[in-house]
A and B are shown apart, each in its own frame.
Chain A
Amino acid sequence: MIFPMFTTEDVKKIAKLSRLHITEEETEQYREKLGSILEYVDQLQEVDTMGVPELQHAVAVENVFRSDEPSIDLDERARAMEMFSARKGDLLEVQAVFSKDE
């Protein structure tokens, strides 16, 4: 057992890391459900993995390169821009990343 207790503080912390706003009621539900999943996956600790390589990707491919040539489809660009929630013409509007106080 690597993590026997999963607290509401843990849930709040990972919600913050996940950029998710969750309510107090949800916090309790997630504590319970995430706790039960973590308890389930804990069985992996009994497997002896000493010296076993990590398998991130099952298909062994070398790094794949393409030639560095611009291939801009202007229509596709326009279609992607249209999806942006706030824009003025070709300018995309976002809130400030830094505030003056920081």
Chain B
Amino acid sequence: MKTIRELSKALQERTLTSEELVRSCLKKIEEENEALNAFIWVSGTAIDEAKEIDLRREAGEELSVLAGIPIAVKDNILVQGWEITAGSQILENHKGAYDATVIERLKNAGAILIGRTNMDEFAMGSSTETSHYGSTKNPHDRTKVPGGSSGGSAVAVAAGFVPCALGSDTGGSVRQPASLCGVVGLKPTYGRVSRYGLIPMASSLDQIGPFTNTIEDAALVMEVIEGKDENDATSIELASTTAPELIEPDVKGLRIGLPKEYFVEGMDEEIRMRIDEAVKKFEAAGAIIKEVSLPHAKYALAAYYIVAPSEITSNLGRFDGLRYGYHSQGSNLLDTYERTRGEGFGPEVKRRIMLGSYTLSAGYYDAYYKKALQVRSLIKQDFDEALKEVDVILTPTSPSVAWDLGAKFDDPITMYLSDIYTITANLAAIPAISIPCGTAHGLPVGLQLMGKAFDEHMLYRAGMWFEKNT
């Protein structure tokens, strides 16, 4: 698949029409989606929308870079009139009553929304296997998982169905599947992208981010979707945005930190070799490599599995069988709630709701929730300190490459550990990106760069250099 930049250029030069582009995407989806299950549903109006963009271009209208470009949407981002399930049975037949802010901005830019991509139920999972709509397969090896929770979006880009897909990242749900599928995945700084219209999982951690083939493409999409939104009180007025044209892929003098706590046991040996090679390349190009310490990072997963479920239990309280989708009639109101939720939610979601109820319940609040929030402070302080000494922190994105479908499904802790390198960026609310970094055991490896809050520019700069030199 060509990049957004290349496709956009072809559209502008009239060597390609949006209709042709959309038709070729739809054809590929029709041929290959059944085997991969990246899309849950494909839009029936995409071709008409593409034709309209072509007409506007013919009429000489000045159009955005994304005009006429097909984009896939994770099934937890609202599009007005589209069904939305978040991979769950409980939202059966529910339709978006309005456009999420990111969708409104993409539509205004003329992007063509192609369809809804598969995901772990309510974005809870690391393999896209907890979806009510079946698991998604990794295009590099269909017996392997694509990672998750935004597995459908990662595969939609990796399989060449679309040049870009939106995902959401609460603990690694964009970066980890990007790594396992060999594409670029960005989790922006918390507050950079509006969450309005994103079905919430853990509101203090959730961010929407793009999957693309290149870093420049990610920056192009970010330029459209980012920025203050009055409908999301946690979105931030940005001091500056990065025009992709202004990114200088240059790493001379760039200070890169390697957290000593991350390069210990548990990391796959071949992945370690790919990361070491990448570090040497950066160093040879004039980057300064420094060891940094994140002493509380080892507690990140434990803190996350208290903070996230606590927020989940509160956010998913709204699914009462009345206002949304699935309904199971009981003998009284409480019985209706319990039946609807008991039948409508899958096992992983129920597990996290119950965990959150427990960690917030009387007698355990201080020992669990308060403690986890304090540890979250310490983790953020570690990153603040480390990022005074270096410009970016470099790690693998995932401790392993894509694993066999079903392999980790029954063991929650093993599944959760696959997010060990990504979760800290959500807790510390900093930006992080996963970039393809060769292969191990014949499958894609991802390199993660994390930076200071709102300094996505530095990630683009270092990442783009790496992209051009591999």
**Can you list 13 contacts pairing A with B, beta carbon distance less than 8 Å?**
A18-B357, A37-B351, A37-B413, A41-B302, A45-B367, A45-B371, A47-B371, A49-B378, A52-B378, A58-B429, A83-B95, A85-B322, A94-B322
Please state if A83 and B324 are interface contacts (CB–CB under 8 Å). Answer: yes
Say how far A36's CB is from chain B's closest CB, in angstroms: 6
Tell me if B97 counts as interface (CB < 8 A to partner A): yes
Tell me if B370 counts as interface (CB < 8 A to partner A): yes
Please state if A19 and B355 are interface contacts (CB–CB under 8 Å). Answer: no
* A residues at B contact (CB < 8 Å): 2-3, 10-11, 14-15, 17-22, 26, 29-30, 33-34, 36-38, 40-45, 47, 49, 52-59, 61, 64, 66, 73, 76, 79-80, 82-86, 92, 94-97, 99
Say how far A40's CB is from chain B's closest CB, in angstroms: 6
Identify which of B151-159, B255-263, B336-344 touches chain A.
B336-344
Chain B 86-120 residues near chain A, CB threshold 8 A: 94-95, 97-98
Please state if A49 and B371 are interface contacts (CB–CB under 8 Å). Answer: yes
- In the complex, A97 Cα to B394 Cα: how many Å? 54
Contact of A44 among B342, B371, B380 (CB under 8 A): B371
Q: Interface majority SS on A: helix, strand, loop or mixed?
A: loop
Please state if B234 and A59 are interface contacts (CB–CB under 8 Å). Answer: yes
- In the complex, A64 Cα to B299 Cα: how many Å? 32
Tell me if B354 counts as interface (CB < 8 A to partner A): yes
* B residues at A contact (CB < 8 Å): 80, 94-95, 97-98, 190-191, 204, 230, 233-234, 236, 296, 299, 301-303, 305-306, 313, 317, 321-325, 327, 330, 332-339, 341-343, 345, 347, 350-351, 353-358, 361, 364, 367-368, 370-378, 380, 412-413, 427-429, 453
A-B contact number at CB 8 A:
168
Please state if B234 and A44 are interface contacts (CB–CB under 8 Å). Answer: no
Central interface residue in A79, A84, A95, by most chain B CB within 10 Å: A95
Please state if B375 and A47 are interface contacts (CB–CB under 8 Å). Answer: yes
Say how far A22's CB is from chain B's closest CB, in angstroms: 6
Q: A17-B357, A44-B299, A55-B380 are in contact. Are A22 and B97 (CB under 8 A)?
A: no
Q: What 12 new A-B contacts, CB under 8 Å, besides A2-B367, A49-B371, A54-B373?
A: A11-B354, A26-B350, A34-B355, A38-B355, A38-B358, A52-B375, A57-B204, A64-B233, A79-B97, A80-B97, A83-B94, A85-B327
Please state if B322 and A58 are interface contacts (CB–CB under 8 Å). Answer: no
Task: Report chain A residues within 8 Å CB of B429.
Answer: 58-59
- In the complex, A85 Cα to B320 Cα: how many Å? 10
Please state if A99 and B345 are interface contacts (CB–CB under 8 Å). Answer: no
Q: Which 4 A-B pairs have the closest CB atoms?
A: A58-B429, A21-B342, A54-B373, A49-B374
- In the complex, A79 Cα to B313 Cα: how many Å? 26
Please state if A44 and B354 are interface contacts (CB–CB under 8 Å). Answer: no
Say how far A91's CB is from chain B's closest CB, in angstroms: 13
Please state if B191 and A59 are interface contacts (CB–CB under 8 Å). Answer: yes
Please state if B374 and A43 are interface contacts (CB–CB under 8 Å). Answer: no
Task: Report chain B residues within 8 Å CB of A11.
Answer: 354
